[in-house]
A and B are shown apart, each in its own frame.
Chain A
């Protein structure tokens, strides 16, 4: 049995074909790079996605800071992560790359800021 997977690692969108026999991956072709190969293997085993959103930010020049998970999380856990993000508020200033939330939902993955927010004095 073979499965077709469209790679989402970059805009090229390579079509990867994976041969599966008795639940085991036996051959894989069509990937354009090592990241793509890893993606296809992961997609067959258990699909993962990087989660991106914004969280509330207090006293900033923007009222939100954009964030992402430092690693992709299992698809089924996306909702849980989104919920956790909706419940927090951070304090400006924030620098892009700052850890906003450590070990989100006990997944061993951090949430990091992708945008800087300056503190505004009032």
Chain B
């Protein structure tokens, strides 16, 4: 370990590994820090495919995707630490950040010019989703259940209720069913499933698992272990309908109720990292630089991505920016244009662009619409889409030419 680095990458999931490899290949002095005992992040515990379709042009399982990334990491001999927690990032000066690290051998302090923050997301827990009841054994987040089954080989239970029908909920329902657990139902509060149709087909229909839409789990009951859940019907406004309670017997509840960027250390920094209240990740510019110079964000901590591939691309983008920062003693200054959200645009990342080079925008819409244009109001640049859906992030490459004539204002909107 050295005293000073060009870049410290925090978190060794898809975004972090891609970032660290790219930094190394760009000739930066880089150190990767991971809190778990193994590199690879969440993909390592994903036995299902759907990874690498863009990044490798192949359909890999999560574990295969992680292995592929790590092959390059090992070949490039990137320096790393495992079982190491970052406890704080201090902003000393424009060119110097102090990263405090705790690992089994003690406390360390490292100086670095840049930080790529790629800590991923956390899962929403039951108290955030308003589920009442006792603290019983048998209540897991989907990710915890997956860690138990697919890393440790332990079955969390035999009769399972899955809460949430996003892709994670659907995939875990199948995983339980494959291992001979009885999935008594997937509970979804919206009138439609949250995940991709292909996952409704291959995860629920294939195993005859019931999807209960417009229902919530109100309460979890039992003595020491979960014994039953109380569900209730909700209307279009998600208001609970009176006298609609029903009881489902089960011994396990798996919560797949959404991911939130895990920004803890950024939140605790003295220099303020400005957050986006919609994505709940940091606001960034097209270099993925946060409001603190030299601190970059990539992967699910930046915005919840639909595909692991996008997290990896963001890692590479951040690494490229770290190189520019190191070579120029900071990012060349620009007049940043804030990307305003117009009709049916829920979120957009990056939140700021320079307007003078090509940029990739990650966009989420508020509601589904068929055959619409995503357009930049100021330049009348349009991109035709067959449909937009809140569950699917649009990833649009906007060319340099399409940005001519912005005059410091840019509004992104979906037009019918």
Instruction: Other than A64-B152, A66-B150, A114-B67, give 8 A-B pairs with Cβ distance below 8 A.
Output: A6-B200, A9-B59, A10-B53, A11-B306, A49-B206, A51-B178, A78-B178, A82-B180
Residues of A within 8 A of B44 (CB): 115
List A residues 1-35 near B (Cβ within 8 Å). Answer: 6-11, 13
Check B75 for interface membership: any CB of A closer than 8 A: no
In contact, B206 and A68 (Cβ under 8 angstroms): no
List A residues 39-80 near B (Cβ within 8 Å). Answer: 49-54, 56, 61-64, 66-68, 75, 78
In contact, B63 and A96 (Cβ under 8 angstroms): yes
- B204 CB to closest chain A CB (Å) equals 12
In contact, A115 and B67 (Cβ under 8 angstroms): yes
Check B265 for interface membership: any CB of A closer than 8 A: no
Check B130 for interface membership: any CB of A closer than 8 A: no
Tell me the A residues contacting B by CB distance below 8 Å.
6-11, 13, 49-54, 56, 61-64, 66-68, 75, 78, 82, 96, 114-116
In the complex, what distance in Å separates the CA atom of A122 from the CA atom of B47?
A: 28
- B169 CB to closest chain A CB (Å) equals 16
In the complex, what distance in Å separates the CA atom of A74 from the CA atom of B10?
A: 43
In the complex, what distance in Å separates the CA atom of A56 from the CA atom of B154?
A: 10
Known contacts A6-B197, A50-B49, A82-B180; A64 and B153 CB within 8 A of each other: yes
In contact, A64 and B151 (Cβ under 8 angstroms): yes
List B residues 194-220 near A (Cβ within 8 Å). Answer: 196-198, 200-202, 206
In the complex, what distance in Å separates the CA atom of A82 from the CA atom of B64?
A: 20
Check B94 for interface membership: any CB of A closer than 8 A: no
In contact, A114 and B47 (Cβ under 8 angstroms): yes
In the complex, what distance in Å separates the CA atom of A54 from the CA atom of B37?
A: 19
Q: Which A-B residue pairs are the 8 nearest by beta carbons?
A: A115-B63, A13-B198, A64-B153, A52-B47, A8-B198, A96-B67, A114-B63, A66-B47
Convert B291-330 into 0s and 1s, putting 1 for each residue whose CB lies closer than 8 angstroms to a CB of A. 0000000000000001100000000000000000000000
In contact, A52 and B48 (Cβ under 8 angstroms): yes
- CB-nearest residue of chain B to A115: B63
- 11 A–B pairs (Cβ distance < 8 Å), ordered by A: A8-B201, A10-B53, A11-B196, A11-B198, A49-B206, A52-B48, A52-B178, A54-B150, A64-B153, A114-B63, A114-B64
In the complex, what distance in Å separates the CA atom of A52 from the CA atom of B178?
A: 9
Count of chain B residues with a beta carbon within 8 Å of a chain A beta carbon: 31
In contact, A64 and B196 (Cβ under 8 angstroms): no
Partner of B61 from the list A49, A52, A116 (CB cut-off 8 Å) is: A52
In contact, B53 and A11 (Cβ under 8 angstroms): yes
Residues of B within 8 A of A49 (CB): 202, 206
In the complex, what distance in Å separates the CA atom of A62 from the CA atom of B202?
A: 28
Residues of B within 8 A of A67 (CB): 47
Known contacts A63-B152, A64-B153; A114 and B178 CB within 8 A of each other: no
Convert B204-239 into 0s and 1s, putting 1 for each residue whose CB lies closer than 8 angstroms to a CB of A. 001000000000000000000000000000000000
- A61 CB to closest chain B CB (Å) equals 7
Check B131 for interface membership: any CB of A closer than 8 A: no
In contact, B61 and A10 (Cβ under 8 angstroms): no
In the complex, what distance in Å separates the CA atom of A75 from the CA atom of B206?
A: 8
Known contacts A54-B149, A63-B153, A64-B152; A8 and B179 CB within 8 A of each other: no
Check B395 for interface membership: any CB of A closer than 8 A: no
Residues of A within 8 A of B59 (CB): 9-10
The CB with the most chain B CB atoms within 10 A, among A6, A9, A52, A63, is that of: A52
In contact, B49 and A66 (Cβ under 8 angstroms): no
In contact, A52 and B49 (Cβ under 8 angstroms): yes
In the complex, what distance in Å separates the CA atom of A66 from the CA atom of B153?
A: 10
List B residues 42-69 near A (Cβ within 8 Å). Answer: 44, 47-50, 53, 59, 61, 63-64, 66-67
In contact, B153 and A8 (Cβ under 8 angstroms): no
In the complex, what distance in Å separates the CA atom of A7 from the CA atom of B197?
A: 9
Check B38 for interface membership: any CB of A closer than 8 A: yes
In the complex, what distance in Å separates the CA atom of A114 from the CA atom of B64?
A: 5
Residues of A within 8 A of B198 (CB): 6-8, 10-11, 13
In contact, A13 and B196 (Cβ under 8 angstroms): yes
Residues of A within 8 A of B151 (CB): 62-64
In the complex, what distance in Å separates the CA atom of A7 from the CA atom of B201?
A: 9
Partner of A11 from the list B50, B149, B178, B206 (CB cut-off 8 Å) is: B50
In contact, A53 and B179 (Cβ under 8 angstroms): yes
Residues of A within 8 A of B48 (CB): 52
In contact, A66 and B63 (Cβ under 8 angstroms): yes
In the complex, what distance in Å separates the CA atom of A67 from the CA atom of B47?
A: 7
Partner of A61 from the list B38, B50, B153, B307 (CB cut-off 8 Å) is: B38
- B52 CB to closest chain A CB (Å) equals 11
